[in-house]
Structures are given as structure tokens and as C-alpha cells.
Structure 1
Amino acid sequence: MSNLSYKDILLSFSEHIILIKIRFFGASSKYALSDNRRFLRRYGLVELSPHFKNRYRLSDNGKMYLRYRFHSFWKFAIPTIISVIALFGGYDVYTNPVLKELLEAIASLFAHIMEILGIG
């Protein structure tokens, strides 16, 4: 799978959790090769570990998929959070000075995170 597009892979929530679990703990060959985990082999997301016998770990494709999904999640979440904060301003929530400073600090933090991730 040399031309794997991470945008086209749509895994369910449980499959995504399985990938995260394998990333941190690895997986036995019996677990990784079972029939209900065919997606691991189909997309080449796991490979045999060179350090442990009969253990699987994430391949480069699996790591890149998780990075892509993490980045795409933040591309959605940060603008949404900033929009919610802006809506608070529309409802005169900023009349409370403590709440105003807190919301401005949060908006500034998310704006800087967006710049770092290159989302803006």
C-alpha cells in the first residue's frame, strides 16, 4: 500500500481505539490477526515487531493515520471552540470582568495553537 490516502480511510470509533491501544501496548498475533480486525491488515496499519516474537506494532502507515486524524480533529475543534467563545460575546457575557479575561485568554491560547498547527 504505497499510495495510501489517510483521508479515505474511515475507521469506526472502536477501530480507532484499537489502533491507539496497539500503539501503546502492542498486540499479540492472535489478537491482531483475528477476523474482526481485518482492517489492520487491509490497510497495512500493523507490522511484526522486530523486538518481540509474535507481537505486532503500528507500522508507519498506522502512525501516519493516527497523526492525520489527530490533526484533522484539531482543525475542527479549535475553530468551533473559538466560535462558541465569540457567541458568548454576542450575549453580553463579557460584562463580567473575570469571565471576560478568562474567555479572552482561552481565545488567545487557541489562536496560538492554530498558528502552530498551521490551521489558520
Structure 2
Amino acid sequence: MAKNFRAQGQNMTVVATGTVTSGSFQVVGAMFGVALTDAVVGEEYALRTGGVFDDLPKASAAEPGQGDAAYWTGTEMTTAADDGGDPSTAYLKVGVFAQPAANGDTSCEVRLNAAF
């Protein structure tokens, strides 16, 4: 193994810029994942950058099928790649929906891609 190998990179130690709740979806720069621990501003916490997570917030009108691309709007998951405005604001592609979800559902299961 290379002498400079540090880790697989699935769990990253990051510093909270606000209150972080374990299980919440977080975006840190160009990196995203689910917080594994709680933290307050200035504290380090573990961010899991890949894997399948349930109970993530979903846009209630979105009706993803299993395997559909999942995008983060800044507050919830959706199937839309952008907000549809003119000009449009692109959403962050984070993975795929692991299970289908119905219109009206406010949570979902997503397989996060560790990198794109």
C-alpha cells in the first residue's frame, strides 16, 4: 500500500458551521453526506459520504422511482435537476433514490454517491 494512503474516505471529519443533528443531510463545500454525530458550531463531527440512508427529507410533490437520480435543493431531496426558473438554479446531484416514494411522502431513502 502507498505510504501516503490515509483512509477509504467514507467517513470524513468536518467542522460544524451551525448546529448539526445526527442523521441530518449536510453539505460541506463540494462534499455532502449524513452526519453520524451531533455537533455545535466549531465542533468536529463525522460525515458519512456514501451509503444508503432513509428518513431524509423529500419534496412532497416528488414521485421518484427506484434508481431515479436524487438532487438536494438545499432543504430536501427531489427528482428535479433544477428549480425550473429562468434562469434556473441547479440542484446538487447526490445519488439515487433507493426506494420509490409517493406524492405526499415527506421522507425518502437515498443511496448517496461518495463522489461524482
More relative contact order, 1 or 2 (CA 8 Å, 6+ apart): 2
Greater gyration radius: 1
Q: Report the TM-score, using the length of structure 1 for normalisation.
A: 0.22
Greater helix share, structure number = 1
